Amino acid sequence: MKYLFIGSQSEQRFELLLSLTRINSDDVVAALYDHLVKGATESSAAIINGISMSNFNRALKKLNDVAETVERIKEIDLRTR
């Protein structure tokens, strides 16, 4: 399931999600930020930051997987209250 959408993340949430990954390339991080926080299209974010679409998609999938885990934890927390 897709949890991350174009322009859907605050800067703070983006940074926290990113901190749960091993994504550390400045160009990849900048492309993800441009897409998820600023609202650039996937292809524009990749081109502007000089990365390949395959690298962008790989990183976006990793970040989406982390977001999924966070959402699943939140669901568990809500059920146990």
DSSP 11-30: HHHHHHHHHTS----HHHHH
Q: Which fold has domain 11-79?
A: Arc Repressor Mutant, subunit A (1.10.10)
* Overall average pLDDT of the 31-38 stretch: 98
Residues in CB range of 43: below 8 A, 6 or more apart: 53
Q: How many CA atoms lie within 13 A of 34 on its CB side?
A: 19
Position 10: which residue type?
S
| pLDDT score recorded for residue 39 | 98
- Count how many residues are written for the chain: 81
pLDDT category of residue 30 using cuts at 50, 70 and 90:
very high
Q: Which residue has the tokens 């502007």?
A: 48
- Domains of the chain, by residue range, sit at 11-79
